[in-house]
């Protein structure tokens, strides 16, 4: 029998070490396997995770953190909050209804998906109106608890807390402006009570409520809802130990006061990694006799924990809360990190010694708990200390020249010498574009054949010559098509790129790549972020060959196509041994080198995509200004050195940026193309309200996420709407994002109609 230490895991990845769940789900959706096959894969994954944690000595092991799609959708199912359009008739929710809500079906589109706090995980947003009939419609939480118990593991069942559930919801169609979501609290609590009672009856002794919304900026009305909810649940919860888990940031003083005042609660889970103030809050006031679940092991990144440093923090906390009341935990669910380092066959031993994925983090948590209990595993701690030291001193991490160059950037502003309207004039002389110029965002459809060529080249199955020949042919095809369509500013189509971050990371130093470091993004979709482990530099040009090859095929301007520093940063696992902005400045300098080489090679239009700038915005408003300042500065660094006649474009995949419009203007790009097609109004209202915008702007005129082909009239109509608020001479006409995932049969007619619409309007202006 393994002795259990005071250790806890907030949650664990569900996909499996080799994405077993992904493949089982997709095969089920494609009708290639049965529901039983899928359930079997899921049950095997759950049991192996429980066993692994139990073998590691973890005392508080979570259940109900598995999900077939999303944990918020699971809560929606538990509450029977199925929007009426899915035609659900009550009873226990099955795969049909569940996956229809998640993915849509032949007749009804899916529910909306949005980002889970500031992670790259997306959840299904509950849609709630005044007449939802809540009912206890999914017994998953209780079933999983029983399943684990039958395997000999007494778990801590995890539920999304009732207040966070409501705060993460949106009002149903028709009641958007008038409905208070929190007014539903008295209607959902009875369902929570049923679930709690069943869990108690099944033998649970602990329960965990995830209330991560407690870390946001909440007004007193919202904080009050937490107090009311747990007041109401108190008697049902009696007899259970209750953990309220928070993560992703520290709490405001007010929120912390609310948390420690909640009735019926035994334990508080706090993030020590992202929560800069967490330590001080606990020290200032911690209720006697309650448990602190101290999130010391980072659930958001892939670095090995600095065990000695954590241990000393934990000892400080122990002195405050008492030896018996401290439990070592992860900072948040391990869902946001990669699964198991064991499957990384391509990373060298040195880099591997610096890393810990979910499976390794479980071991770290337990090692810390054991050390606190006076049973420190000296060998494990000293191996960890050696790895920390090697990471600090490795020449692979530090590049003096890069450090110096990045440090030198901080004081100054980095702006182009001339203002945007003068630059646009100079560029127009050179480019000679019509009004309402047409362009696309970069990628063209990626056919199976094209993906095969790239894969075979990577695996050394075809020669470099054959690869270059194939890619050149593809570029030629794309260039010819754009000329035929009569587009004004061309792109090469990005056929050589698998992914807009990976492509650059692979060519920059300071980056490492995993083979199985997948992280769930939504549903069965996973991403494999690069790991930035060292100072970033660019050994040689990355895109110049392809861009100049493409330019040589046409007399029209060819856009050079780069990913910007903020997006590379936000879509990678970032080093934790220096501030994010320092890493971002380093990437900016590398991209700056590339911009200047493109310019030298005769590329007059360069697009630097910042698709992910908006999503890096910190959770708390007090931190927004600082982030936006260095993010925008990083972007400007990349292109502050180009001539007036070189036109800098940027692209963003987010339309709801009314709140950051001034930062976008401050990026000082010559032209910005933005996703817009699903929310014309929101975007245009910014300009209607009088924001002065002098640079070129191309709000997407049609939605590339849908196979639907927009008509010429429809596109012309949208352009007209934009012309009502924006100056004619700054408006560009383009789709709302890259065309990579579309088919040529959709792209050709859609672009054809887009160009026709632009031409039609030119004759009317
Ligand atoms: N240039 C990229 C493309 O067209 C931009 C993709 C994105 O914005 N996500 O694919
Ligand atoms: Zn985009």
Per-residue pLDDT, 1:
55
Contacts of 765 (CB under 8 A, 6+ apart): 435, 436, 728
Determine the angle formed by the axes of helices 580-600 and 624-639, rounding to 10 degrees.
20
The structure tokens listed for 577 are 């041994």
> Under a CB-based contact definition with an 8 Å cutoff, are residues 522 and 111 in contact?
no
Q: Which of 639, 640, 665 is nearest to 652 (CA)?
A: 665
> Under a CB-based contact definition with an 8 Å cutoff, are residues 545 and 522 in contact?
no
Q: Indicate if ligand 1 lies below 6 Å from the C-beta of 255.
A: no
User: Using CA atoms, how far apart are residues 106 and 708, in angstroms rounded to an integer?
Assistant: 15
Pocket test for ligand 1, best of 440, 562, 609 (most atoms within 8 A of CB): 609
The owner of tokens 């920059």 is: 508
User: Using CA atoms, how far apart are residues 126 and 184, in angstroms rounded to an integer?
Assistant: 12
For atom 9 of ligand 1, the residue with the nearest CA is 611
For atom 3 of ligand 1, the residue with the nearest CA is 738
Q: Indicate if ligand 1 lies below 6 Å from the C-beta of 559.
A: no
Say what the alpha-carbon torsion angle 109, 114, 119, 123 is, to the nearest 10 degrees: -60
DSSP 676-691: -TT-HHHHHHHHHTT-
Residues of the chain with pLDDT under 50: none
Q: Indicate if ligand 1 lies below 6 Å from the C-beta of 500.
A: yes
Task: Collapse the DSSP code of 438 into the 3-class scheme (helix H, G, I; strand E, B; otherwise coil) and give the result.
Answer: strand
E strand spans, 221-304? 241-245, 267-271, 291-297
Q: Which of 406, 415, 411 is nearest to 641 (CA)?
A: 415
Question: In this structure, which residues have their CB less than 5 angstroms from ion ligand 2?
Answer: 611, 653, 737
Give ∠ CA 723-725-731 in degrees, rounded to 5: 45
For atom 8 of ligand 1, the residue with the nearest CA is 611
In angstroms, the Cα distances linking 454 to 347, 449, 460, 501, 518 are: 22, 9, 10, 16, 20
Per-residue pLDDT, 164:
98
The structure tokens listed for 258 are 């609310």
Task: Collapse the DSSP code of 697 into the 3-class scheme (helix H, G, I; strand E, B; otherwise coil) and give the result.
Answer: strand
The owner of tokens 């911009």 is: 595
Q: Which ligand is nearest to the CA of 543?
A: 1
Beta bridge partners of residue 63, listed in sequence order: 157
- What ipTM was assigned to the predicted interfaces of this complex? 0.99
Q: Indicate if ligand 1 lies below 6 Å from the C-beta of 443.
A: yes
User: Using CA atoms, how far apart are residues 671 and 755, in angstroms rounded to an integer?
Assistant: 19
Task: Collapse the DSSP code of 254 into the 3-class scheme (helix H, G, I; strand E, B; otherwise coil) and give the result.
Answer: helix
> Under a CB-based contact definition with an 8 Å cutoff, are residues 191 and 177 in contact?
no
The structure tokens listed for 328 are 């070592």
Give catalytic residues, as residue numbers: 705
User: Using CA atoms, how far apart are residues 264 and 759, in angstroms rounded to an integer?
Assistant: 68
The CB density around residue 228, as the number of other CB atoms within 10 Å, is 16
Per-residue pLDDT, 680:
61
Task: Collapse the DSSP code of 1 into the 3-class scheme (helix H, G, I; strand E, B; otherwise coil) and give the result.
Answer: coil
The CB density around residue 459, as the number of other CB atoms within 10 Å, is 8
Contacts of 376 (CB under 8 A, 6+ apart): 370
Per-residue pLDDT, 677:
64
The owner of tokens 């990349």 is: 638
Does the predicted model carry a pTM greater than 0.90?
Answer: yes
> Under a CB-based contact definition with an 8 Å cutoff, are residues 592 and 641 in contact?
yes
Q: Indicate if ligand 1 lies below 6 Å from the C-beta of 611.
A: yes
Ramachandran region, residue 694 (left: φ > 0; alpha: ψ -120 to 50; beta: rest): alpha
* Binding site members for Zn(2+): 651, 653, 662, 666, 675, 737
* Strand-strand pairing, 531-537 and 509-512: antiparallel
For atom 4 of ligand 1, the residue with the nearest CA is 738
Q: Indicate if ligand 1 lies below 6 Å from the C-beta of 737.
A: yes
Q: Which residues of 739-755 are buried (b: 16+ CB within 10 A; e: fewer)?
A: bbebeeebbbebbbbbb
Task: Collapse the DSSP code of 538 into the 3-class scheme (helix H, G, I; strand E, B; otherwise coil) and give the result.
Answer: coil
């Amino acid at each position: 029998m393994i002795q259990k230490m005071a250790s806890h895991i907030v949650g664990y990845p569900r996909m499996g070490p080799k994405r077993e769940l992904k493949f089982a789900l997709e095969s089920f959706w494609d009708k290639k396997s049965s529901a039983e096959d899928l359930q079997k894969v899921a049950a095997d994954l759950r049991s192996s995770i429980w066993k692994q944690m139990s073998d590691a000595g973890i005392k508080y092991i979570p259940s109900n953190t598995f999900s077939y799609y999303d944990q918020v959708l699971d809560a929606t199912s538990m509450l029977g909050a199925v929007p009426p359009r899915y035609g659900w008739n009550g009873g226990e929710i099955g795969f049909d209804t569940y996956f229809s809500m998640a993915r849509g079906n032949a007749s009804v589109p899916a529910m909306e998906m949005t980002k889970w706090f500031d992670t790259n995980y997306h959840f299904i947003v509950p849609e709630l109106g005044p007449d939802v009939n809540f009912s206890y419609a999914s017994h998953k939480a209780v079933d999983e608890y029983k399943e684990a118990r039958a395997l000999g593991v007494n778990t801590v069942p995890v539920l999304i807390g009732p207040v966070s559930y409501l705060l993460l919801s949106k009002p149903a169609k028709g009641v958007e402006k008038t409905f208070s979501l929190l007014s539903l609290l008295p209607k959902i609590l009875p369902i929570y009570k049923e679930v709690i009672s069943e869990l108690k009856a099944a033998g649970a002794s602990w329960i965990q409520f995830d209330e991560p919304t407690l870390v946001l900026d909440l007004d007193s009305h919202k904080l009050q809802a937490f107090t009311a909810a747990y007041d109401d649940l108190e008697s049902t919860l009696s007899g259970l130990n209750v953990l309220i888990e928070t993560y992703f940031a520290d709490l405001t003083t007010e929120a912390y006061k609310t948390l420690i005042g909640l009735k019926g609660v035994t334990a508080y889970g706090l993030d020590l990694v992202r929560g800069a103030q967490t330590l001080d809050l606990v020290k200032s006031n911690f209720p006697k006799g309650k448990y602190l679940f101290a999130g010391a092991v980072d659930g958001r990144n892939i670095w090995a924990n600095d065990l000695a440093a954590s241990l000393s923090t934990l000892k400080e906390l122990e002195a405050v809360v008492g030896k018996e009341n401290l439990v070592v935990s992860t900072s948040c669910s391990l869902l946001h990190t990669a699964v198991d380092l064991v499957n990384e066959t391509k990373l060298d031993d040195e880099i591997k010694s610096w890393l810990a994925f979910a499976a390794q983090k479980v071991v770290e948590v337990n090692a810390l708990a054991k050390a606190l209990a006076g049973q420190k595993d000296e060998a494990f701690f000293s191996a960890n200390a050696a790895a920390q030291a090697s990471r600090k001193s490795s020449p692979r991490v530090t590049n003096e020249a890069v450090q110096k160059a990045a440090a030198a950037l901080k004081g100054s502003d980095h702006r182009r010498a001339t203002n945007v309207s003068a630059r646009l004039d100079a560029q127009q002389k050179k480019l000679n574009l019509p009004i309402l110029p047409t362009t696309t965002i970069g990628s063209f459809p990626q056919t199976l054949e094209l993906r095969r060529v790239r894969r075979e080249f990577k695996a050394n199955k075809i020669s470099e010559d054959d690869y270059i020949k194939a890619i050149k042919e593809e570029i030629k095809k794309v260039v010819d098509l754009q000329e035929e369509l009569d587009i004004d500013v061309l792109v090469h189509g990005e056929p050589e790129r698998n992914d807009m971050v990976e492509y650059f990371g692979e060519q920059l130093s300071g980056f490492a790549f995993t083979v199985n470091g997948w992280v769930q993004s939504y549903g069965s979709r996973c991403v494999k972020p690069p790991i930035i482990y060292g100072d970033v530099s660019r050994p040689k040009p990355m895109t110049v060959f392809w861009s100049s090859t493409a330019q040589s095929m046409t007399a029209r301007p060819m856009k050079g196509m780069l990913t910007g520093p903020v997006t590379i940063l936000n879509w990678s696992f970032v080093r934790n041994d220096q501030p994010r902005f320092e890493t971002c400045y380093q990437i900016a300098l590398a991209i700056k080198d590339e911009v200047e080489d493109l310019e030298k090679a005769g590329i007059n239009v360069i697009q630097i995509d910042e698709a992910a700038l908006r999503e890096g915005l910190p959770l708390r408003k007090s931190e927004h200004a600082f982030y936006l300042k260095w993010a925008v500065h990083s972007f400007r660094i990349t292109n502050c050195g180009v001539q007036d006649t070189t036109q800098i474009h940027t692209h963003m995949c987010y339309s709801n940026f009314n709140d950051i419009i001034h930062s976008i203007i401050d990026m000082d790009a010559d032209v910005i193309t933005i996703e817009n097609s699903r929310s014309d109004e929101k975007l245009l209202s910014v300009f209607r309200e009088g924001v002065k915008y002098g640079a070129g702007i191309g709000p997407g005129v049609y939605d590339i996420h849908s196979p639907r082909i927009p008509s010429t009239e429809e596109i012309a109509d949208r352009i007209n709407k934009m012309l009502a608020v924006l100056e004619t001479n700054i408006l560009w006409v383009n789709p709302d994002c890259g065309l990579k995932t579309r088919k040529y049969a959709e792209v050709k007619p859609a672009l054809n109609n887009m160009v026709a619409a632009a031409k039609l309007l030119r004759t009317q202006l």
